[in-house]
Amino acid sequence: MSKKRIVVLTGAGVSAESGIKTFRDSGGLWEEYDIMDVATPEAWERNRDLVMEFYNQRRKQLYEVEPNAAHYALAELEKDYDVRIITQNVDDLHERAGSTHVMHLHGELKKVRSSVDENLVYTLDGWELKPGDKCEKGSQLRPHIVWFGEPVHMIPAAAELSATADIYVIIGTSLNVYPAAGLVDYVRPGTPVYLIDPAEPGAIHIPKFTFIQEKAGTGTKKLVEEYL
């Protein structure tokens, strides 16, 4: 018999216990930086050095942190389920924990791309992207990140994947950032949906879901032990 498919949508909260700050929690990144200064195409045009520095710091930190219990539990689930992860995160902690099907909606921190041809994507050697680092077409390399105001090319594929779920799990996302937050709309009616987050969900427009009000590590363990 083929394995049941679990589609997991993760956000910044799944990596919080690894020591990577979320954006909206208190002490989150938004308090230190203005989003308009670091995560928009306009910011890139205005002050490339600041944008590069912001992502260099995030990338550097990524080399210093480890996957946590939630990432490992999701990787472990592949023994019994066909697990597909859709993540809003730009870190690589799901992959490092051993998950083999990870779709990154908003790009990947360890990758950079051409600023004239978005199909030219490279894995950066080390953590630092420098002014003067160029693609093969001679343009400055930029972080491989989907900035606010840029299209999320992976959404149709993620929506299609969401519609194939036998079980849908949402971990550590405030469901504030569209279009990612709209993916739950594609889950087939009647599919069990679990939401793991220490905070009450905001606007979630699915009629029925099980809320596991826990941090990602303990919440994912509880999901596996009590609900699956």
E strand or H helix that includes residue 87: strand 82-87
Instruction: Return the residue of 11, 83, 95, 154 that touches ligand NAD, per CB under 6 A.
Output: 11
Instruction: Return the residue of 7, 9, 22, 108 that touches ligand NAD, per CB under 6 A.
Output: 22
Q: Are 221 and 197 in contact (CB under 8 A)?
A: no
Closest CA to 16 of 85, 84, 89: 89
Instruction: Return the residue of 59, 84, 106, 142 that touches ligand NAD, per CB under 6 A.
Output: 106
Instruction: Return the residue of 67, 86, 129, 172 that touches ligand NAD, per CB under 6 A.
Output: 172
Sheet holding 102-104, edge to edge: 102-104, 82-87, 5-10, 167-171, 193-196, 210-212
User: Could you tell me the maximum CA-CA distance found in the chain, to the nearest angstrom?
Assistant: 56
Binding pattern for the stretch 46-85 against ligand NAD, x by CB under 6 A and - elsewhere: ----------------------------------------
Q: Are strands 193-196 and 210-212 parallel, antiparallel or unpaired?
A: parallel
Binding pattern for the stretch 186-205 against ligand NAD, x by CB under 6 A and - elsewhere: -----------xxx------
Closest CA to 212 of 223, 203, 224, 204: 223
What is the C-alpha separation between 196 and 211, in angstroms, rounded?
6
CB of 101 to ligand NAD, least distance (A): 18
Question: Is 153 part of the annotated catalytic residue set?
Answer: no
Instruction: Return the residue of 176, 178, 188, 213 that touches ligand NAD, per CB under 6 A.
Output: 176
Site for ligand NAD in 132-171 (CB under 6 A): none
179 sits near ligand NAD (criterion: CB under 6 A): no
220 sits near ligand NAD (criterion: CB under 6 A): no
Helix then strand then coil, % of the chain, to nearest 5: 35, 20, 45
Give the N- to C-terminal CA distance of the chain in Å, as an integer: 17
What is the C-alpha separation between 193 and 25, in angstroms, rounded?
24
108 sits near ligand NAD (criterion: CB under 6 A): no
Binding pattern for the stretch 27-46 against ligand NAD, x by CB under 6 A and - elsewhere: -xx-----------------
CB of 15 to ligand NAD, least distance (A): 4
Binding residues for ligand NAD, per CB under 6 A? 11-13, 15-17, 20, 22-25, 28-29, 88-91, 106, 172-174, 176-177, 197-199, 215-216
Catalytic residues: 106
